[in-house]
Structure 1
Amino acid sequence: MTGLSLAPVGAVGAHDLTFAEALKKVAPDKQQKAKTSARDFEAVYLNTMFEQMTTGLKGDGPYGSTVGTGVWRSMLNDQYARAFAQQGGVGIASEVYRSLILQQAARSA
């Protein structure tokens, strides 16, 4: 998975020992599933953001208000969101991933 930094680092840059310990308790396949879920969550968030950014655009062209551009724009926004999330996004995925791992580790204890 490219772009998503998954190093156990806390908000201030210090090594996050809680997260590092939690990773030891979660199976690799569950970690991968959590990474995918976190990235997908960020893509949904970004898609919503992009949809809001392009809602009021009028005129001709790909972001205009001509017949058919609404569907095209929706698909384009979805692809933009997926690409952004795949390349690291805005940082939501790494925090969601951390939360998912901590929850799974707590359940396994």
Structure 2
Amino acid sequence: MDISLSPAARLATPQDRALWAKAQELEATFLSEMLKDTGLGKSEGSFAGGIGEEQFGSFLRDEQAKLIVGRGGVGLAEQIFRSLRQGGAG
């Protein structure tokens, strides 16, 4: 997944960078599911629906979620990162 690292994560150890990347992946996955539940990207009118929309709509939502995370997200990655980091220290 090509999601940029925060400045703090760039200065950290390789393990911290890996944890940060995983935390961002988890946030992107969460956001993608939330976007799906909102109905974002569903067409209305005579061109709505169809097998193509069902099959490829998830790709669009995944990319939109990655963009949201890449621009700072909603703060979930930071919390996940902290939790993963504390869990690995024990």
Q: Point out the structure with max Rg over C-alpha.
A: 1
1:60/1:49 CA distance change after superposition, 3 Å? same
Comparing both chains, which one has the higher relative contact order based on Cα–Cα distances under 8 Å and sequence gaps of 6 or more?
Answer: 1
Shift of 1:103: 1.2
Counterpart residue number, 1:105: 89
1:94/1:5 CA distance change after superposition, 3 Å? farther
- Aligned pair partner of 2:33 in 35, 39, 48: 48
Partner deviation per Cα, 1:52-93 (whole Å, 9 max, x = no partner) = 1117x562488x324412223211111101111122111100
Task: Kindly report the root-mean-square deviation, in angstroms, between the aligned alpha carbons of the 2 structures.
Answer: 2.6
1:68 counterpart SS class: helix
1:83/1:35 CA distance change after superposition, 3 Å? same
- Aligned pair partner of 1:89 in 49, 73, 76: 73
Does 2:21 align with 1:28?
no
**Where do 1:56-67 residues align within 5 Å?**
57=42, 59-60=44-45, 64-67=48-51
Unaligned runs of 5+ in 2: none
How high is the TM-score relative to the length of structure 1? Answer: 0.64
1:65 counterpart SS class: coil
Unaligned runs of 5+ in 1: 8-26
2:44 counterpart SS class: coil
Of Structure 1 and Structure 2, the greater helix share is in 2
Q: Distance in 2 between matches of 1:75 and 1:36?
A: 19
Runs of 4+ aligned residues of structure 1 deviating over 2 Å after TM superposition are 4-7, 57-62
